[in-house]
Amino acid sequence: MKTAAIVGGGVIGGGWAARFLLNGWNVRVFDPDPEAKRKIGEVLDNARASLPGLYDMAMPDEGTLTYCDTLAETVKGAKWVQESVPERLELKHKVFAEIQAHLDPEAVIGSSTSGFKPSELQEGAKDPTQILVTHPFNPVYLLPLIELVPGDNHDPRAVAWAKTVLTEIGMFPLEVRKEIDAHIADRFLEAVWREALWLIKDGIATTEEIDEAIRMGFGMRWAQMGLFETYRIAGGEAGMRHFIEQFGPCLSWPWTKLMDVPELTDELIDQIADQSDAQSGMYTIRELERHRDANLVGMMRTLKARDWGAGALLNTHDKVMNQTGGIAERLADVSDLSKPVKTVERAVPIDWTDYNGHMNEARYLQAFGDATDRLMLIVGCTPDYIAEGGSYFTAETHIRHIDEVHAGAKIRVETQVLAGAGKKMHLFHAMYEGDRLLATGEHMLIHVSLETRKASDPAPSVADPLARLATAHADLPRPEGAGAAVGVR
């Protein structure tokens, strides 16, 4: 198993630790802060509750987390080192020197710096090409963007390895073609920040009003389409050229004070702090983080359903995890036809829970519906088959809720074919967490012609594999609860 070394365990370092750990890497952490274990533990709790919910495949088994007393112990044998110490160049140079004294020369050192250029970080280094900027965004365990800045003095092998590792743990490495102070994204953030300071100083808006302007409007728009694509659409059918011609003159209008920065006087600092306290002081930082994480999961899962932006990246990562995790897509992939077929394996997302703190009853149906879809795929009722005009419609469903399941639980569904002849497909799904039975779902489906919307016999390409699976399952004991009706025991 690969090992990542995390140097500096603050908010960013803790997020990196969670991202690697939950993607199956062993992680070693070095941070002299006596509170480091507690702080990282709290970040990990948040990550465990949120990150798996982004995916529809089971994530890898969690790696082993080790806290080290020395840098030498931390980095020895590591394939990746992530430096997240405070933004002081002399401190970073000292840390890099000690890391490189003990690090495998083939490994990569990524720096989380939000402002320093690679050339500045590499000054005086034993091997400058080993050091890259890999600037993340908080929370690191959820947001995929990494600004990868190799700089002029770089080793293509190290850059390629960095892209491989970052992609493997579900991130989006954006290679910055030329080094510049604060890279790309933070320059946008700084511009918005400066304008916001002026709006507060001039009494035009409060901290809450500014945040509402972003999160209720263009913030969500930017999240799914970025800047230029958004403006291209704003230009109508004529596109970007029309937009620039129409709105270009605005650049000379007094819409911004970006060329001037307000002095951060005590009065202005107090004004901002007081307004922020009034806006959010009723929540602890941990509570705010949990709200943030749940909202991000919901937004990103919505994007996933549309296969758009960050959601498309999640769908790609799902496919990668399925290739290594093992949910069959064809009957030939099922290792033992005589046993119920594993049709679902995933974590329960935050947005699947209800006011009782456990999985909403509708989500049991969704999980069993996903299991049915997978079984259909296994027996040959593929998207191509459906496009040709044949499919199955569900005629009857009976779900038994046996035990509670909470957000983050790793569930699996095992499916037994009770009947699979003629137009009928009779399935019995059992949902488990480990060995604990959570629920069962019994489903009767009828094959239909999508042209007539009436019952029809399936084509041999589906009927034969389904019959083969039904025959193999005929020797299994009839599941407890099969054929039961509500209220009948």
Residue type, 279: Q
- Output b/e per residue, 263-291; b: 16+ Cβ within 10 A: eeeeeeeebbeebeeebeeeeeeeeebbe
Place of tokens 């230009």: 235
Q: Do the annotations mark residue 12 as ligand-binding? A: yes
Q: Do the annotations mark residue 77 as ligand-binding? A: no
Q: Do the annotations mark residue 9 as ligand-binding? A: yes
What length is written for the chain? 489
CA dist., res. 27 & res. 405, Å (int) = 29
Beta-carbon contacts of 24 under 8 Å, excluding residues fewer than 6 positions away, are 1, 59, 60, 61, 62, 63
Q: Do the annotations mark residue 239 as ligand-binding? A: no
Q: Look up residue 68 and give its two tokens.
A: 């080290």
Residue 45: closest CA among 85, 15, 75, 25: 15
Q: Do the annotations mark residue 149 as ligand-binding? A: no
Q: Do the annotations mark residue 14 as ligand-binding? A: no
Beta-carbon contacts of 226 under 8 Å, excluding residues fewer than 6 positions away, are none
CB atoms within 10 A of CB 295: 13
Residue 63: closest CA among 169, 166, 145: 169
Annotated binding site for NAD(+): 8-13
State the binding site: 8-13
